[in-house]
Amino acid sequence: MKSSLLLAALLAVSIAHAADPQPPEGFRAIFNGKDLTGWHGLNPHSVVKLEGEKKDAALKKMREEFPINWKVENGELVNDGHGPYATTDEEFGDIEFLIEYKTVPKADSGIYLRGVPQVQIWDKTQVFDPAKPTRRPHLGSGGLFNNTPDTPGRDPLVIADKEFGEWNSFRIRQIGARTWVWLNDKLVVDGAPMENYYDKAKPFPAKGPIMLQTHGGEIRWRNLFVHDISPEEAKKILSEADAKK
């Protein structure tokens, strides 16, 4: 009996330890691998035109729905393809963001930076539809889908998606409005400005949450790590990037 209890205790400790995120040097975890602490549910598109009590009620409802559609499993943040987007309680400015994902056919998703859409995640096997010429899933994931079509960064530079069933890794750098995206270690967006989707005449927000979009199919996320970029580091990165042009 004692040996069984000891084995169970060791197994519990092992599972808990396995779920502990291990950020690289200079990064910190924004998902603890155990529960939904630090996150809430929000679909910004559904409340953008609401005000007052109607907006408050909608926000409250999405927070209540969040744990219905999102769960933590084996250290992964898992969504069933429905419900509000997973949204950080924390707001971020200039950052480097690491995240891994695994999704399923026919789903699409994305990562909102500072609450603005988005670094796109596609099913690359979808066939291009000439009736929707600006929707180009066959070009792969990582592009800034809500930018103006045919502008820099709107479509990825290369197709870097792995096959279904495999984990993909993003490295995303956001400095001011400029965005760099590496997908599976391949550069797919090279310092392109991300447009303010909600009002393209206004500047890109200085700060905002990270949001993980749910859209039509299961998606799993893990190893969510952020490095906060200081003004000095941002200046150096921008100077080096501009010197290469």
User: 108: pLDDT confidence band, cut at 50, 70 and 90?
Assistant: confident
Percentage of the chain modeled with pLDDT above 90: 84
- Answer yes or no: is pLDDT of 13 > 80: no
Q: Is residue 128 part of a domain?
A: yes
- Answer yes or no: is pLDDT of 82 > 50: yes
Q: What is the CATH number of the domain that holds 67?
A: 2.60.120.560
pLDDT in tens, 23-68: 999 999 999 999 999 999 999 999 988 999 999 999 999 999 999 9
Handedness of CA 176, 221, 188, 151 (dihedral sign): negative
Specify the number of domains making up the chain.
Answer: 1
Q: Phi, psi (5° rounding) for residue 212?
A: -110, 115
Q: Which residues contact 194 (CB under 8 A, 6 or more apart)?
A: 113, 116, 144, 147, 153, 174, 177, 178, 179, 204
Helix (H) or strand (E) run with residue 178 in it: strand 178-183
- Answer yes or no: is pLDDT of 154 > 60: yes
Q: Is residue 6 part of a domain?
A: no
Q: Write down the pLDDT at residue 171.
A: 98
pLDDT in tens, 178-220: 999 999 999 999 999 999 999 989 999 999 999 999 888 899 9
Q: Tell me the average pLDDT across 171-178.
A: 98
User: 162: pLDDT confidence band, cut at 50, 70 and 90?
Assistant: very high
Question: Nearest-5° angle of CA 176, CA 21, CA 75?
Answer: 110
Mean pLDDT value across the chain: 92
Q: Is residue 180 part of a domain?
A: yes
Q: Write down the pLDDT at residue 245.
A: 73
Q: Is residue 3 part of a domain?
A: no
User: 8: pLDDT confidence band, cut at 50, 70 and 90?
Assistant: low
Q: Is residue 140 part of a domain?
A: yes
- Answer yes or no: is pLDDT of 9 > 70: no
Q: Tell me the average pLDDT across 83-105.
A: 97
Q: Write down the pLDDT at residue 14.
A: 43
Q: Is residue 13 part of a domain?
A: no
- Answer yes or no: is pLDDT of 94 > 80: yes
Q: Is residue 135 part of a domain?
A: yes
What is the four-CA torsion angle of 142, 112, 108, 167, rounded to 10 degrees?
Answer: 60
Domain extent, residue 183, equals 25-243
Q: Is residue 150 part of a domain?
A: yes
Q: Write down the pLDDT at residue 10.
A: 44
Q: Write down the pLDDT at residue 1.
A: 47
Q: Write down the pLDDT at residue 216.
A: 81
